[in-house]
Structures are given as C-alpha cells and as structure tokens.
Amino acid sequence: MVEIGCDESGSEGEKLVGGNTDVFAHASVLMDAESAAACIRELRARAPSPATQYKAGHILREKHRPVLRWLLGPSGPVLGSVHVYLADKTFLVLTKVAGLLAGNPDPRPLYREGEAVFGAGRWAAFLDAVNYLLRAKNGQGVTISVDDVFRLVGELRETGAGSAAGAFMELLWQARPRVADFRARLLADPHVFPALDPLIPGIVHAVAHWGRGGEPVTVVHDRQTTLTEERVAELRHLLGGRLAGLRLVESTLDARVQVADVMAGAARKIASDELNGRGDPGLTALLRPYVDGSSIWGDDRSGALLGHRS
C-alpha cells in the first residue's frame, strides 16, 4: 500500500477566471512521517518563523531564496519524493469549452490569439461568461444564461472572422444546442459531470503517478470543503479502484501534508511568475523535475521551461 500526503495552492473552487490566482498547483508527497518532520524542522532552522504552520511564503521571501533553492535542489530533502500537478486556470476553462465542441478542437490557438483578436475587454468578458456557464454553483448571486453567452459568441465570431480564434468561435456557435444541453443537465444534477475544480484532476494525477506500478494508493489530504462524499465517489470511479482511500486531516497534524503545502505554494508562485514573463530561470529549472508533464498548460514558452509536454 502506498500512502501519500497532499495539499494544494491557488484553489478557488470552480472560479478559474478573475480570481486571486492564475495558476493552481497540487503537490503529493511520498515520504515517511519522520523524514517529512525532519524536512519541516530544517526549513524552520534555515528560514525561521514563529508561525504555527510553516508555509511556502516563508521561503519565497527574497532573503530566504537560498533556502528555496536548497529545498528544490539535488542536495535538498524532497527531490524524487514530491510530484506537482499544475493548471493554468484560463487554459483549463478553454479545454472544458473545447470538450463540448464537435471534434474536441485544440484550444491553444484561441488561448494564444484571443486577447489580440477580440480586445482585452471582450476577451475577459468571454472567459468570465463561459466560466460561469460551466460552473455547477455560480455563487455571489451571479446568474448567466446560454442566451447571454451566445450573444457574446455571436459578436466574437464576426470580429474574429478569418483568424484561428474566430474559427474556434464559429465552432462554438454551431455547438449551441450541445452547450445548452450540458447546462441543463448540470443544473439538474451538478454531480453528473466532472467539476471545473482542478483539485479533482490534481488528485487523479497524484494517484496515477505514485501508483504507476499498479499499487493502490491512499491519499491523506489537507481538509477541503470541495472534497465531499460525492466528489470522493467520483474520484473512485475515475481511478477505477486505484484509490484505496482518502482521508482529510489538519495539515499541522501530518508533516507530509505540511511538506505538500510548502511545495504546492512554492510551485504555484514559480510557475505563475514564469507564465507571466517574470520568472527566475534558476528556480524554474529547479522546479522542472517535480512537474507532471501532463499538467494543463497552454503557454508553449513557459510550459517547455517547466517540463510540460504539449
């Protein structure tokens, strides 16, 4: 039996657009409890903090940059024992939209060209609209209809005529009945379809990675309100018996989960900086061995540096 400790950074549920973070990171740790505790103790010794729970923010400070390099580097305690799944939230929304279209077209051309072709305002409005349309729970009193979304899609397909982004909008325009059917079934039963929440694929990839020899995997995860009984049942179904169990704990009570918390936070910040063109080449190179090559990532340049397989 394989047992891993897991935590995430950048989780905002199904709100993937217009939130506080543009990247989601899920870290899974295969270490024994004492090794994980020793790692946290060493981090506290190298970059002291009075906080009860040691977080990535402590070693992301500029003055503690050498500690971050040590943690990620070959002389550190976690190389080979940590796996990180990343999701570029904007690209994740577009992949979900593409999955509703005939032929499941590649959303990368739209991801690359959308803002330039449609303008920043309309592009942001489109992303926000489709994110709300595909969410099981919109929250904050926000309501949006299929008609609302397709009025905007109609404008964008005309604006982008002749471009790859416009061609994608044309396919979306033609798929209106399919999108409407999806929305109706989603409202009728939010658990019928895989959620937009990247936490679900994060756990799936963690189990697939650590159980690649066929071993069943038990997940010990930091408490998450989104990991309801229905979601756990969905995970068991998706993993076809490879998930032996999943239990939620307070991160301060399990050093493996604390290590996962630190690694997820560090990975999210490094990846987000690289995505936005302000990355530290040294840190990006150090993160690369940890990154799942099948992470959801649309930007070719930063993806190549992070080890994503496009």
Q: What is the CATH number of the domain that holds 78?
A: 3.30.420
Q: Is the pLDDT of residue 139 over 60?
A: no
> Does residue 131 sit in the same domain as residue 165?
yes
Q: Collapsing DSSP states into helix, strand and coil, what is residue 204?
A: helix
> Does residue 213 sit in the same domain as residue 302?
yes
> Does residue 201 sit in the same domain as residue 63?
yes
> Does residue 243 sit in the same domain as residue 273?
yes
The pLDDT value recorded for residue 302 is 98
> Does residue 78 sit in the same domain as residue 93?
no
> Does residue 77 sit in the same domain as residue 226?
yes
> Does residue 67 sit in the same domain as residue 216?
yes
Q: Domain end: 142, 157, 188, which one?
A: 188
Q: Domain end: 132, 154, 188, which one?
A: 188
Instruction: Report residue 27 as tokens.
Output: 């870290």
Q: Which bin fits 192, alpha (ψ -120 to 50), beta or left (φ > 0)? A: alpha
Q: Domain end: 188, 203, 222, which one?
A: 188
Q: Out of 63-72, 193-202, 255-264, 287-296, which region has the weakest mean confidence (pLDDT)? A: 193-202
Cβ contact 77:38 at 8 Å? yes
Residue 30: closest CA among 215, 270, 234: 215
Q: Which residues pair with 2 in a beta bridge?
A: 217
Which H or E element spans position 73? Answer: none
Number of domains in the chain: 2
Question: pTM of this prediction?
Answer: 0.94
Strand 2-9 to 217-222 pairing: parallel
Cβ contact 14:230 at 8 Å? no
> Does residue 165 sit in the same domain as residue 120?
yes
Measure the CA angle with vertex 189, ends 186 and 195; round to 5°: 60
> Does residue 150 sit in the same domain as residue 289?
no
Q: Is the pLDDT of residue 192 over 80?
A: no
> Does residue 153 sit in the same domain as residue 99?
yes
Buried b (16+ CB within 10 A) or exposed e, 28-56: bbbbeeebbbebbeebeeebeeeeeebbb
Boundaries of domain holding 7? 2-87+195-306
Strand 2-9 to 23-29 pairing: antiparallel
> Does residue 244 sit in the same domain as residue 116?
no
The pLDDT value recorded for residue 138 is 65
Measure the CA angle with vertex 197, ends 195 and 200; round to 5°: 80
Cβ contact 20:234 at 8 Å? no
**Cα–Cα distance, 154 to 177 (Å, whole number):** 14
**Cα–Cα distance, 186 to 193 (Å, whole number):** 7
> Does residue 132 sit in the same domain as residue 228?
no
Residues 206-249: tens digit of each pLDDT: 999 999 988 999 999 999 888 888 888 888 888 988 999 999 99
Residues 25-60: tens digit of each pLDDT: 999 999 999 999 999 999 999 999 888 889 999 999
